[in-house]
Every structure is written in structure tokens, then in C-alpha cells.
Copies of this chain bind each other. A is one copy, B any other.
């Protein structure tokens, strides 16, 4: 089992067929007689043959590579690594590999698209962190490149023009709010982010929706634990008996403000560590759906409508609620 390169010609020789037949077995099995097919499969097995992606790509223009930006750990409480793990896993099952890149802003990310396309020709991009006026998606769409976003196209016309996968933040905070309602709370506050962030506004809306009257028990913060604590104090002083938070980070701060139930968002390691009740995003699922959307895009006769997938987060109940 030496690591000698074994090519399609070796397989062909071994199975006593032409190279073309081997290629057909691999790519269009229907064209080949069952018996021959089996013989070739066996030769492939015995020789440990793997298709050389570089050569295939030369011919077909497909690299079986999915490009993804690896995020900066922002406040450290991010959740991206779980998504990335799921993505790598699902991609592998579908015969794709994930290739990574970094970028500091949308502009440099677009420059990297260009680079990557020239050098490695990824079959598709997976974009995260969509936001209002996201120029990345338009750049890719203009060039008719395949991509999916993990995150809705905030601010785009209804539904958005491109495929996306997202988690329903509003459904999450609504569930959290109902949970507190069920525990007898009536004055439930919300600690959020500044207005104008798609994700933040979405999460806020679920809380508002679940309540007949929000009682104006709402504060916006920069997302830090410090501001979370301050906001929590104000809300408690204003009569709040429980708090729903836009993130684990502000929830962590809120916990310092007093002994009221607090629910965070994202179920980060921090939440697990300190026993914070939080909303968990189905990140493996989301990643798998991203891959699903892309394979459909790349392999099926191009779907007429872009896929949109909205998943529900789940409430992980711990000590704080």
C-alpha cells in the first residue's frame, strides 16, 4: 500500500478496460454494464485509487472546494467554530472540502473572492455575518457565482434573491419569553443591541411579539457584559422580574444585577459553564442545510427558485431560569 500515485490508467489496466470506461464507472455508472462496473470498482478498491482533483478540475472547471471565511473571534463568545465543524463534516459527506480564508471587511473579502477564484476556483462560497447593504452578495450574484449565506439577506426585497439558511431569532426569544410567562412572570424585560442590526432587531421582535404589552421594559446596549449589567439594573428598578437578552454576553452582565431569571442567546461555552439558560442555534443542522442548498445549486439542473431555510433555535434551560 505504498503511497505511489495510482492513476486512472492503473485502474484500467488492472480491470482490463480502457481509461474511459473507468471514468464512466466513476461519473456515469449507468453507461457501463453491471459486471464491468463491479470489476472496475474492485480495481479501484484494491489499488486505493482516488480521483485527482487537480486533473479533474482542469477538465471540468469544478474543484469540489467550498470557500469559507474564518471569523475573528470578536468578543470571544462566538459560535462560529461549531458551524464550521458541521460544515466541514457535511461537505465531506457530499464530496466537498472546505477551504479557508480571512478578511477584515467586505472590501478585502471581495478581493479575496477574486484571488481564490483565480487560484483555486472554489465551486461555491459560504458567507456568514450578512448585514444591511452587504456588497459581497451582490458582487457574487453579478458574476453568477454559486453561494449561500448563513444569515438572511437583511434589507433585501422580500425573501431575498439568493439562497440562504438562517436561524429564527424571533422564534427563539418568543419561546424564551413564553417560558418566563409560564413561570408566572408578567413584567419581562429585554436587553438588546443598537437598532439597525438585522439579527438584533429580529431577536427583539420575538420578545415583543410574545408579550401583550412590553411595558417599555427595554434597553439597548453595545453588547458588552458591562452595559448588560447596567441595563439589567435599570430594568429591575423599573419593575422587571425576568430578562430576555440578545446574547450570552449581555446576559452574563445581567446576572450580576440581581437574582432575577435571565435568558441568553447562542448557548455559548460561557452559558454552559456558568449555568445560564440560553437559546441554542442548531449549528450542525444549519451547516448541513448550507451544504444541501449548494449541492442542489451545483449538481441539479439549476433550481428556478433559490432555497430559503429558516431553522428554530431551542431553549436550553439551566439554573438561571
Contacts and interface: CB of A to CB of B under 8 A. Distances in A.
Interface of A: 3, 6, 48-55, 57-58, 63-65, 70-73, 75-78, 80-82, 84-85, 88-89, 92, 97-102, 114-121, 143, 145, 225, 249, 252, 268-270, 272-274
Nearest to A274: B274
A100 B101 contact: no
Given A53-B54, A70-B84, 19 more contacts: A48-B114, A50-B119, A51-B119, A54-B58, A54-B63, A54-B121, A70-B85, A71-B85, A76-B272, A81-B84, A84-B100, A88-B100, A88-B101, A97-B99, A97-B101, A98-B99, A98-B100, A252-B274, A269-B269
Return the 5 tightest CB-CB contacts between A and B, nearest first. A50-B118, A76-B269, A81-B81, A54-B57, A54-B54
A125 B256 CA distance: 45
A39 B164 CA distance: 44
Copies of this chain assembled into the complex? 2
11 contacts: A3-B145, A51-B118, A54-B57, A54-B120, A54-B121, A55-B58, A71-B85, A76-B269, A88-B100, A97-B99, A269-B270
B118 A77 contact: no
A225 B269 CA distance: 12
Contacts of A121: 52, 54
Given A54-B54, A119-B52, A269-B75, A92 B101 contact: yes
Contacts of A274: 252, 270, 273-274
A273 B77 contact: yes
